Structure 1
Amino acid sequence: MNLDQQIQELIDNAPEDDLTTQGIMAIAPVLKLLASRFKHETYFVWQNFQQQWVLTTLAHQTKPNLSKQVIYTFASAGDAASSNTSPGSPQSIPIISLLFQLIAMESVDSLVIFDRPGDLMSGTEIARQDLQNLIHTQLQQLYPSGGDIPSDLA
């Protein structure tokens, strides 16, 4: 499924109100821009038995009190399987959906995307705060007065 189809799927599965649809359409260019930087249209994410994405806590090597929560995503099911010993299974998730869900996941600091199959050493981090900032900038350009922006959109 290409990126435009993924955006359409978000719209089709959104609550049936004009505000949500307008919000998705407003932020779609940001989601597509980020998603287009990656080689694959879907990635594999570990899910536990409750179908929740598995979070990994990363701690700073020299500052033990500094940590962040990340979700690892993989280009192939094999890479996902070789990277995790947690119960559950890797699930294929469209890249647009990954980015869209990251916006609202307050307990998650970043996605780490391993874009090259077989390479689990060089992932690309997408910080939730950076994504929210890009969306905020996009919304300010579309709605300079701020009047029509839903307060909880980004």
Structure 2
Amino acid sequence: MDLEAQIQLLINNAPNDGVTPHLVSTIAPLLVAIAQKLRHTQYYILQDSEGSWVLTTLSNRANPGIEKRVIYALPTIQDVSLISPAGLDPQISAKITPVTHILFQLVALEPVDSIVFLETPGKTTHTFELRRADFQKRIQRQLKKLRSPKPIPPDIA
């Protein structure tokens, strides 16, 4: 599924609350811009039996007191074994998810610090990390641009 079709699906499936579809449309250019930097249009996300995304807590090797919570996005189902013994856990499954949907979910994933996209099947060395805080700042800038009033041209009269 191409990126434009993914965005349209997000808009179509958004709650009809008068806000979410407009929000998706507004940040769609940002979602597409980030998605275009990635190698794949869809990734596998580990989920528990309730459908919640599986968080992995990583510790800093040099400073074990520093931790971050990440969600891995995997290019193939076989890559699950690279990052987790989850393949042995019947409560955990991997679900293919469009990349723009992963990015959009990051907005609401409170406990998550980053999504780590594994870019090369079979390897953990080539990754793209999207930090939630950075992503939210970019979204705020996008929303601010659209809200800010257009300057009044000096020759309007």
- Shared fold by TM > 0.5? yes
Give the 3-state SS of the residue equivalent to 1:97 in structure 2: helix
Counterpart in the other structure of 1:56: 56
- 1:141 equivalent to 2:148? Answer no
Contact 2:82 2:122 in 1 (8 A): no
Counterpart in the other structure of 1:39: 39
TM-superposed deviation, 1:122: 2.1
Rg larger in structure: 2
Contact 2:55 2:70 in 1 (8 A): yes
Task: Output the CA distance in 2 between the equivalents of 1:81 and 1:42.
Answer: 18
The CA deviation string for residues 18-75 of structure 1, in whole angstroms up to 9 with x for no partner, is: 3221111001011010001111110011112222111110111222221110001111
* Structure 2, unpaired ranges of 5+: 150-157
- 1:103 equivalent to 2:138? Answer no
Contact 1:73 1:80 in 2 (8 A): no
Give the 3-state SS of the residue equivalent to 2:19 in structure 1: helix
Q: How many pairs does the alignment contain?
A: 145
- 1:116 equivalent to 2:120? Answer yes
* TM-score normalised over the length of structure 1: 0.89
Structure 1 segments, 4+ long, off by >3 Å, are none
Task: Output the CA distance in 1 between the equivalents of 2:104 and 2:26.
Answer: 12
The CA deviation string for residues 73-118 of structure 1, in whole angstroms up to 9 with x for no partner, is: 1111111244321221211011001000011111000000001112
Q: Percent identity at matched positions? A: 37
* TM-score normalised over the length of structure 2: 0.87
Task: Flag the 1:46–1:22 CA change in 2: closer, same or farther, 3 A.
Answer: same
Query: Once superposed, what is the RMSD of the aligned Cα atoms?
Result: 1.2
